[in-house]
Structure 1
Amino acid sequence: MSERTETTQVLIIGAGPAGMLLSHLLADAGVESIVLETRSEEYVAARIRAGILEHSTVDLLRSVGLADRLEREGDEHRGIYLQWPHERHHLDFVDLVGRSVWVYGQTEVQKDLVAARGAAGQVVHYEVDDVALHDLESDRPSVTFTDADGTTVRVTATAVAGCDGSFGPSRAAVPDGVRSTWERTYPYSWLGILADVAPSTDELIYAWHPDGFALHSMRSESVSRLYLQVPNGTPVDDWSDDRIWDALASRLGHGQDGWELTPGPITDKSVLPMRSYVQAPMRHGRLFLAGDAAHIVPPTGAKGLNLAVADVALLAPALAALVRDGDARLADAYSDDALRRVWRCTHFSWWMTTMLHTGDDPFDAQLQRSQLQWVATSQAGAQGLAENYAGLPLGF
């Protein structure tokens, strides 16, 4: 079996948005990197994930030349609708906190990043296997893997960035005696669909309903993204297309004040479990974690991708200072600085999730409706939701 060695300044594990954006930001700072990915390029590009970009995320993409297509094809939204039976209220984030959000799918962000890094000659090894991290507490850590052609490769770097999600090797490389974890599994999941039909709403609808939560989102002018709260372990096959559209119509208020939900061909169905997870610290020796490798949030607050971007925005200058100048101050502060935002977003995601998803307790249902009424009619309540949803400034 053939073997080879490589060297770089930063070795990035994971070629999703977090890893590819980090490589882009590092290149802007004059830092070389190599990216590893266990999946194929096509698989990573096709993963259906988040669709809402915070104000700060869009500002960052603009600042590094990655927002041209976003501004042509994305859809800027001023706010969202909050709904429960017989009531629908619009929260205008721009009026409330001076910040908007953009509808632009993670698949589109990934396309833009891959195109930009490809044009710059970024080295990305796809479909690697047997990834293992070594000597993380030294100043020359390394990563070994088997390349797609069966070659055993060792890459030595100054730092390793773990952007490989919750199932990658980076999270587990932090020793048991070092890491602390916090986790919550929610007693419900989302049944998500993509449909080839124009959205029935101009902005997202978050709906509380006695039968369960529903969300009307979108991916473009011709593609709708919709979700239904379902019990954990629900098989996708239990939900026919007709059953899905009937439940969405009921929970989203079809016919309420003349509003109508337009059904269309469903092109994708999947069930997404809901959980929160945080691991600390987000740095061990010369290993730095970012994105889902360090934290998971339920999608209700639209924080997952945006939180990964915020991590990377902190990590890139920290790594640049470390590998270029030997200055470890930002690297030493990275975990604490990142975790401050992580816990803020984890709380907001938990708050949105528990406010909108129904259970079996009628007392809880009355508390939820009271809270929704307060958020929708109180300036302070609406501003709190808007500030968190549209996103705090990077560096918070």
Structure 2
Amino acid sequence: MEKNIVYIGGIDWYGKYKYSTHHIVGKLSENNRVFYIDNFGGRRDLRLRDASRILRRIAGSFGRREGSGRRPLGGHSYPVIVQPVLVPTPRLPDAIGRMNSALLARALNRIIDRYNLRDIVMWTCVPTDVVWDSISRVPHRVLVYQCVDKFSGHPLIPDSVRSRFSAYEEMFTRSSDLVYANARGLFEEKKKLNPKTYFFPNGVDPERFRGRGEKIEFLENMQQPIVGFAGLLGPWVDFELLKQCASIKTDWSFVLLGSVSPGTDTKGLTRLPNVHLTGAVDHSALGDYFRYFDVGLIPYLLTGFTQYTFPSKLAEYLAAGLPAVATPLPEVEPYSNVVSTAAGPEEMVEAIRKALEETGRSERIKTRLEVARSMSWNTIVSQMEQLINDTLQAKT
């Protein structure tokens, strides 16, 4: 069943990193008319370095940004990328907030008119007042709220707006036809407010992590073993833990694939000689980098935010056949057969050592690959779509 889907993702479509949003929208676009509303800000305060990104968005709003690059741009290839221009900060006077809502509603209605959309599935990952007010002015048949984080607890959200964001999280949860939660903790919380809540973890395209066989020059002669991490190095990462582990095991190389989020204190980690930061790495190349890793790390702090975080790299490490070691996150516990957990530096070093020395490696790799296949984006998105199809049919 081909559907008209308007997807408000809150993520830069053309940004450095690939998130669950990119994977889901890509899969949806294979069989549906998908219109991706590109990130318009409004969740965190602006920084000086945001200026160039904002200018690019404004410039892009005057062009016709269609297609994700996967398909030819002729005709109506999907997803269609729509860049609304709003005042991009959450701390706004009421009048500016109302203006933002009107601007977003106008952008949505233009897409609806231009492409003659009917029976719209409105899908949002952004539970804010601006989004709520704008979609209330736009005709749609089904509302999907995809809960990807404990939004009001995000470390980059200003404290002054947390209570407002929390209220709108609840409003979206109660009012949506379907709620998709990507962490079990979020699922349990949202299920109490809406029985049409479903758990879908962050998945993986397993075939992408077989690697392309390309050499990564700087890793070719690096001292082994290589203990790796991939992802944005933000305030949710336990840099002190990493620093202590790297200080204890100076004969191990720690490779961190990702850039440091602005304003993040790395606790002096980057000054250690056996710690190597690469900056952002193209998602399509991760399989080749992972071939050099001996262990994949998920070193997150244990906070009220990460309590509800399902690590996106979990399935990707498993798809590469890597043993994984994580801090004891609630969302990792159900995968104890393929992921080891450790709380402090000594315990973490010991868990890594055991992973390096594991026996029955071929059978363990087989198990990891099987778990990764069970978390494939194809399966996840197919199940998401079926729920939407059932909801649409029930409303006809």
Greater share of residues in strand: 1
Higher RCO (C-alpha 8 Å, min separation 6): 1
Common topology (TM > 0.5): no
Q: TM-score, normalised by structure 2?
A: 0.35
